[in-house]
Amino acid sequence: MQQKFGISQRRVCEVLEIHRSVLRYCSKQEDDEEALRAAIIRLTTRYGRYGYRRIHALLKIEGWHINHKRVERIWREEGLKVPQRQSKKGRLYLNDGSCLRLKPCWPNHVWSYDFVAERLANGKKIRLLTVIDEYTRKCLAIRVGYHLTSNDILDILSDLFIQEGIPEHIRSDNGSEFKAQILKEWLKSLNVKTAYIEPGSPWENGYNESFNGKLRDELLNGEVFYSLKEAQVLIEEWRQHYNHIRPHSSLGYKPPAPLARIRSSNTQTQNQKIHTYNNGGNTNQNTNLNLDL
């Protein structure tokens, strides 16, 4: 327009109603752009089912101080996959119109458990029993075996009750293992209320079904298990990652049980910093530890 009408840049900006800084703006590339790009590709390669928001959360854990918009820009420039947006889900209602919602309100308020089926490389079936705390989203245990019965449920719950405490409710479907008389009487003796979902309505056990979906999507669909022992080791390794590292969108992109991290000074690389000073010929040591949860 300047060349065609012979007018100044100021006049062109006034006519188009834009600021001259917009016309003169030149994008600047940060010094750490290539390092950040490599870190994003590395994490995306390792966690192929994570979107840019979870990758951003993992970068923050690694010590990057960046905006999520910058991660999204690089994500799209590299042509990385953006997970499809899930459709909205309505509330659950019974046939009489009453709303069905036993909502967890504090840790150990509501637990839930369910079975997941999988096969080894030779085609042999294995079963996984997953137990989660619906409030904290923490996976309390995953038992892997060829045949899991009500006795296995009793065994794993007894260990969890000692380690984590006794929940008020425990939610499950109507499988024969969960409705076994010996299990029901044992839970009743401990004042644990059972919450069985409606038959044929797995969505009523939504927290556990969601967890099982993540387990299958992020691990089971991408691994070939050649033995039961290998499956047990890899699944337990993924459970530890899920609890302590994997960002959870419902928890503000923080893991359910983040590990304690010792913060150190910039001038020292050791986690434990010891200050030594002289006080009248006596040498005193003071250890400063800062736990960042």
Residue 177: alpha-carbon gap to chain centroid:
28
Rounded Cα distance between 186 and 165, Å, is 15
Q: Output 2 or 154, whichever has higher pLDDT.
A: 154
**pLDDT greater at residue 28 or residue 103:** 103
* pLDDT value for 99: 41
Per-residue confidence (pLDDT) for residue 200, from 0 to 100: 80
pLDDT at 143 over 70: yes
* 172 within 8 A of 150, measured Cβ to Cβ: no
For 226-277, the pLDDT digits (tens) are 999 999 999 999 999 999 999 988 888 889 988 866 555 443 444 443 343 4
Q: What is the pLDDT of residue 77?
A: 86
Q: What is the mean pLDDT of residues 166-188?
A: 93
Q: State the pLDDT at residue 146.
A: 94
CA 40/CA 188 separation, integer angstroms: 50
**Percent of the residues in the chain that have a pLDDT greater than 70, as a whole number:** 80
Mean pLDDT on 185-208? 89
Q: What pTM does this model have?
A: 0.68
- pLDDT 10s digits, 83-108: 565 555 555 544 444 445 678 999 99
| Residue 29 neighbours by CB under 8 Å, 6+ apart | none
Helix/strand/coil (H/E/C) assignment for every residue in 34-66: HHHHHHHHHHHHHCCCCCHHHHHHHHHHHCCCC
Evaluate if residue 293 carries a pLDDT over 50.
Answer: no
Position 201 confidence tier, pLDDT thresholds 50, 70, 90: confident
Edge-to-edge strand order for the sheet containing 110-119?
139-145, 125-133, 110-119, 169-172, 193-196
* Token pair 């960046």 in the structure block, residue: 66
Number of other residues whose CB lies within 10 A of the CB of residue 113:
24
pLDDT in tens, 161-175: 999 999 999 999 989
**Cβ-contact 75, 47 below 8 angstroms:** no
